[in-house]
């Protein structure tokens, strides 16, 4: 494996992959920010991502109040709250004993 990683082809591939994902991320960000005043912004967030990460929390924070209170904004908010809870539990080194929301 070390011999493969050391090749120029592997290094070029890693750079190309990095540039690709940076371009995708920038494109997604622009799409959400261009639509942050309406429900389209949060709709794009739930359409483009399987799940939200810490990187997308500022995206939600940038949405207008109208967008946050839309049906899709509320769905994104649920994901953001779940993300925060997971982060807190991780910081506290706790594992939930049951799935959240299933009581």
CA-nearest of 29, 30, 89 to 57 is 29
List the structure tokens of 44. Answer: 């794009």
Question: Per mean pLDDT, which range of 3-7, 19-23, 65-69 is the poorest?
Answer: 3-7
CA-nearest of 43, 44, 53, 46 to 82 is 53
pTM value is 0.74
List the structure tokens of 92. Answer: 């506290």
Distance CA 54, CA 37 (A): 21
| Confidence bin at 103 (pLDDT 50/70/90) | very low
Q: Give start and end residues of each alpha helix (H) in 1-103.
A: 2-5, 8-34, 40-48, 57-62, 65-68, 71-91
Distance CA 71, CA 67 (A): 8
């Amino acid at each position: 494996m070390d011999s493969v990683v050391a090749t120029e082809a592997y290094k070029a591939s890693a750079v190309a992959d990095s540039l690709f994902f940076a371009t995708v991320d920038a494109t997604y960000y622009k799409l959400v920010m261009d639509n942050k005043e309406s429900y389209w912004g949060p709709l794009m967030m739930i359409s483009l991502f399987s799940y939200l990460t810490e990187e997308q929390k500022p995206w939600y924070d940038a949405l207008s109040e109208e967008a946050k209170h839309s049906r899709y904004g509320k769905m994104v908010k649920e994901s953001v709250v779940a993300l925060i809870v997971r982060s807190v539990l991780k910081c506290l080194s706790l594992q939930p004993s049951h799935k959240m929301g299933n009581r």
